[in-house]
Each structure stands twice: as structure tokens, then as C-alpha cells.
Amino acid sequence: MRTTTALSLAAASLSVLSMLPATAASAASAAAKPSGLELSLLGRYSAGAAGAGAAEITAYDPRTRRVFVINAEQGTVDVLDIRDPRSPRKVATLTTPGANSVAVHDGLVAVAQQASGKTGPGSVAFFEARTGRKLRQVTVGALPDMLTFTEDGKQVVVANEGEAASYCAGAVDDPEGSVSVIDVRSGAVRTAGFRSWNGKAEQLRAKGVRLSGPGVSVAQDLEPEYITTDKDTAWVTLQENNAVAIVDLRRATVRDIVPLGLKDHSKPADAFDASDKDGRIDIRTHPVKGVYMPDAVSHFRSRGRTYLVMANEGDSRDWECHADEVRVKDAELSPTAFPDAARLKQDTELGRLTVLADSPKDAQGRFTELRAFGGRSISVRSADGSLVWDSGSGLEQLIARELPGQFNSDNEENDSFDSRSDNKGPEPEGVTVGEVRGRPYAFVGLERVSGIAVYDLSDPGNPRQAGYVNTRDFTGDVEAGTAGDVGPEGVLFVDGKDSPTHKPLLIVGNEISGTTAIYEITR
């Protein structure tokens, strides 16, 4: 076990005004200043393993002041005592082979575990938070990737991703995606599946749902990723499908599958940097559509309405015998749709950009539209999935201002300026919502460059950037474990009433550095 000293407030937090879009800083400063937050690093626990998923998803038990951290490298849950969050210490380990996700409610810990062969049925194990004693284990669907308790703690809802192992002809191994609804008291498991959509692939595609797995049914193609629940409804992101499933928890049925649409990068508000070979920050418009493909989802309520917040990471399928990504310079472009194709294929234009291989084509198989993975943004959506607001180019603009020398860096090595511009940029992955002094805020983990961006959600139709913190050490060595906090995966908000400091905390599991970072939130 290794614990590093806390960073100073000056090093770990940034001013409110520097977070605002450059074009709006002067006009918006007076309005935005009251909503700004500062995140200061209190403490950090290191699992001592870099690049191995030694710290991913986190959960917190306020009764014991313990944090439960998925350590995928060891197949365990590390239990950290944070009664003194400046010096978190490991006090126990839960044996959880195949652990992917953890959640806690009222002293009960639930852990999602994939089978040794990931296409087999997974399980959820329950433990007592105080003693670590295992209480029961139940069977769920294939590859349970994320789970959460409902607000009342009566149910655990599990996203069974059902990810394929192979798409080879004659040897397709792709289990069905599903959502398990577990009764905490009895242990009974009900399954909300997608078989009722089998045979309806064309109707779903016509709506905008992406189905791309070769030779599989709709139920096999749909891959639940992340869940948020409000009362008797769950919203489940279907990342590779660019959709969200709305689940009725009382009946354990999928009520609807809602496509999330496309983002128009030809609009100035949605500009982005498309090249990793131009040696500069170059955020501008392009004739490209972004496919949101959100990973994490959270929710908040405003004026009696439920809103969803999604981190639009993007994700591809790259398996034996099937890959769904291609660089623009390797794609044949329609001369009608792209009369300037030769220019677009240059490395300093769109040539390096990774796009969906199943983007629309003409009768000759030439691309008539270029669709890129992810939205490089966060979105606010209404409960029916319709778009209310998107951060546009805001995240890339933020990094360009605050870390120009590390713009669109990778998370596996330093000195990687601009190396992710061709592929999802800063890659927003984790998101959570918490309330600070009566205002709802979104906290967004940027997987590649690292760090946490904050948005004030007080006006769901016009959120504002309200802070940014990055405790990655760009002078350190990622592999040697001297680079600070790298690759945020799970982002967890702790309300001040439950915090050992009596102030709100943000607890972040950093997958690449294997560190669990604890930030104190002040306003």
C-alpha cells in the first residue's frame, strides 16, 4: 500500500473564470462566478499497479466511512478506510473474481462479477459492509458490467452487457444483452430482455438505433452499459447502439429503445480537432456527424422533471473477424457528397480520423456521410431521451485553455500531445451528479487527458462550466506509477452530510494509474 501526500489547493484547483468558454468569459463572468466550484485533492490511495485496472468503480458506505474499489487486476474489491480522507488506508479485501462494478446501500455491498468465460452467466455477490461477510450470490446475465441500487435500496439493477467473444462465421459467440432486477430482500432475479425486438431490426434502424453485429439477433446486438434509476424507471445506455433503453422496474420489462441521434460537427458550436498529425490545437468545423454513444449516465430533477446527463465517450467493436472502424483516408468517399475528398483525406484534415465503417454509403459502397465515434461532450436529455443541451466543443476548448501542452493527450504515456484528436479526443467516460448548496452539478471524468470537469446544471437547457481539476503529473512516468491520477473511470459524489469532513467529496477511481483520489468540494 502506498499513500501520497495531498496536493495544495493552488495545485489541485482552478479558478472559476478560467473555466468559461473564451468567447464568453467577459460577458458571463458575473453570472457564472456564484456557481463555480473548487476541487482540492485531500488524499490518494495507490494499489501499486499501473495500467492494469487496479482502481475502477468506487462506492461509499457512510456508516463505516469506507470506500469500496473495484480492483480488476486482482479480481477483488479493495476496502479503504477514509475516516481521515487525507490518509486513506486499505483495511480489507473482498474476494470477487471477475468484479466489474460495486454499489453500496444502507450497509449492504453489491458486486457485479463476470463469469470466467465472459459470455457465460454472471453473478452478483452481496456483502456486509462492516464485516465483509458474504451474504449471498445470485445469477444474472452475461457480462454484468455495471450495477446500482434503487434509491429506496429495495432493488439492485444490473446492466448485463452481453459482449461478444467472436463474430467469426460459423463460430459467432455473442450472448444476449439484458437488465437484471434483483429483489434485495429475497434475492429473486427478474430479467428485462430484448427478445421482443428480434425480427424488428429494420424498424429500429429506421428510428436511428445502430445495429452492427454480423449474423446476430437484435437481443444479441444490444449491449447495456450503464444505468441510472428514478423511482420505478431505469435508463440504460446502449453504448455501441447509440441508444438508451427505458426499463419499467415494477414489471422488469424494457418499455422502449430510444435512439440518441447524431451531432453535426459542421456547426461552429460542435467543432473539434480531427487530426493527430498536425502538431497543433486545431478545433474547427468538419463535414462529420458525431455518434454520441454514451458510457455513463446519471440523472437529476429540476422543477419536478427528471433529466439525464450522459458522458458521450464513443466505443467501437474490434473483435476477431469483425471491426467496425476505419480511417477516413482508407475509405472511398462519394464524389457527390464529398467533392473535395482528396483534401479531406489529408492527414492534417480528416485523413487520420477514425469513423464508423457502417456509416451510410451509396450503391457503389462509397461513403456519403462520415460518422465519428462519440460526441466528445456531455449531454442533458429529458426523461424520454430527447436532447435538451450538449456541451458541444466545450471539453476540448477547456483542455486547450487549461492544458495546452497536453491537449488531447493519451492516458498511457506522457509527451503524447494531440495523439487522441483522431479518436474521441478527451473521451468523457464517467459522470455523476451531486448537489452543492442547493445547486445540481455534473462531475465528468475525462478518460484520456484525465481530470474532472464540472458543470452547473441549475438551468438544464443551459449548463455552465463550473470548474476543472487535473491531478495527473505530466512530468512523471505512467508505467512507473509516478504520474499521479490517470484515466478516471468511476466518479462518485458524497454528500456533505455523509462525509467525514462534513463537506462534499468526489471519489474517483483511476483505471490507468491504479489510484483512488479523494477531492473535497468547496464553493
Per the CB < 8 A criterion, the answer to whether 448 and 411 are in contact is: yes
List, for residues 250-275, the tens digit of each pLDDT value. Answer: 999 999 999 999 999 999 999 999 99
For the chain, what is the domain count?
A: 1
Q: What is the percentage of the chain residues whose pLDDT exceeds 90?
A: 89
Q: Burial-class residue 503 by CB neighbours within 10 Å (0-12, 13-18, 19+).
A: middle
Q: Is residue 353 part of a domain?
A: no
394, pLDDT greater than 60: yes
Residue 76 φ/ψ region, left for φ over 0, alpha for ψ in the -120 to 50 degree band, beta for the rest: beta
Output the DSSP codes for 356-381.
ETTS-B-TTS-BSS-EEE--SEEEEE
Q: Which residues are paired to 295 by β-bridges?
A: none
Q: What is the pLDDT of residue 169?
A: 85
Q: Which of 41-50, 228-237, 384-393 has the lowest mean pLDDT?
A: 41-50
Q: Is residue 354 part of a domain?
A: no
346-368 as b/e: b if 16+ CB within 10 A = ebebbbbbbbbbebebeeeebbe
322, pLDDT greater than 70: yes
Per the CB < 8 A criterion, the answer to whether 158 and 190 are in contact is: no
Q: Is residue 349 part of a domain?
A: no
Output the DSSP codes for 60-125.
EETTTTEEEEEETTTTEEEEEE-SSTTS-EEEEEEE-TTEEEEEEETTEEEEEE--SSTTSEEEEE
* Averaged pLDDT, 90-96: 97
16, pLDDT greater than 60: no
| Neighbour tally for 172: CB within 10 Å | 17
Q: Alpha-carbon distance 521 to 66, whole Å?
A: 19
Q: What is the pLDDT of residue 523?
A: 87
Could you identify the residue written with the cell 438544464?
Answer: 460
Q: What is the pLDDT of residue 61?
A: 98
List, for residues 327-373, the tens digit of each pLDDT value. Answer: 999 999 999 999 999 999 999 999 999 999 999 999 999 999 999 99
List, for residues 36-77, the tens digit of each pLDDT value. Answer: 999 999 999 999 888 888 899 999 999 999 999 999 999 999
Per the CB < 8 A criterion, the answer to whether 311 and 453 are in contact is: no
Q: Which of 55-59, 411-415, 484-488 has the lowest mean pLDDT?
A: 411-415
Q: Is residue 138 part of a domain?
A: yes
Q: Alpha-carbon distance 294 to 375, whole Å?
A: 8
List, for residues 101-158, the tens digit of each pLDDT value. Answer: 999 999 999 999 999 999 999 999 999 999 999 999 999 999 999 999 999 999 999 9
Q: What is the pLDDT of residue 6?
A: 34
Q: What is the pLDDT of residue 28?
A: 29
Q: Alpha-carbon distance 371 to 312, whole Å?
A: 14
27, pLDDT greater than 90: no
Residue 174's nearest CA partner among 213, 210, 225 is 213
What is the helix (H) or strand (E) element at residue 157, kind and residue range?
Answer: strand 155-160
24, pLDDT greater than 50: no
Q: Is residue 333 part of a domain?
A: no
Which residues make Cβ contacts (< 8 Å) with residue 55, sequence separation at least 6?
A: 45, 47, 69, 70, 71, 78, 489, 509, 510, 511, 513, 514, 515, 516
* Averaged pLDDT, 498-521: 97
Q: Which of 14-28, 203-217, 301-315, 403-417 has the lowest mean pLDDT?
A: 14-28
Within 239-315, strands assigned E span 243-248, 253-259, 262-264, 289-291, 297-302, 305-312
Q: Is residue 346 part of a domain?
A: no
13-33 as b/e: b if 16+ CB within 10 A = bbebeebbbeeeeeeeeeebe
| More confident position, 143 or 171 | 143
Q: Alpha-carbon distance 78 to 90, whole Å?
A: 7
Strand, coil or helix: what is 15?
Answer: coil
Using pLDDT thresholds of 50, 70 and 90, give the confidence band for residue 13: very low
Write the CATH number for 248.
Answer: 2.130.10.10
* Averaged pLDDT, 381-386: 98
Q: Alpha-carbon distance 285 to 117, whole Å?
A: 44
Query: Residue 174 phi/psi, 5° resolution?
Result: -140, 100
* Structural domain boundaries, residue 174: 2-315+374-522
The answer, as to whether pTM is greater than 0.95, is no
Using pLDDT thresholds of 50, 70 and 90, give the confidence band for residue 216: very high
Q: Is residue 513 part of a domain?
A: yes
179, pLDDT greater than 80: yes
Per the CB < 8 A criterion, the answer to whether 126 and 108 are in contact is: yes
Could you identify the residue written with the cell 498536425?
Answer: 278
Q: Is residue 337 part of a domain?
A: no
Q: What is the pLDDT of residue 35?
A: 59
Per the CB < 8 A criterion, the answer to whether 353 and 278 are in contact is: no
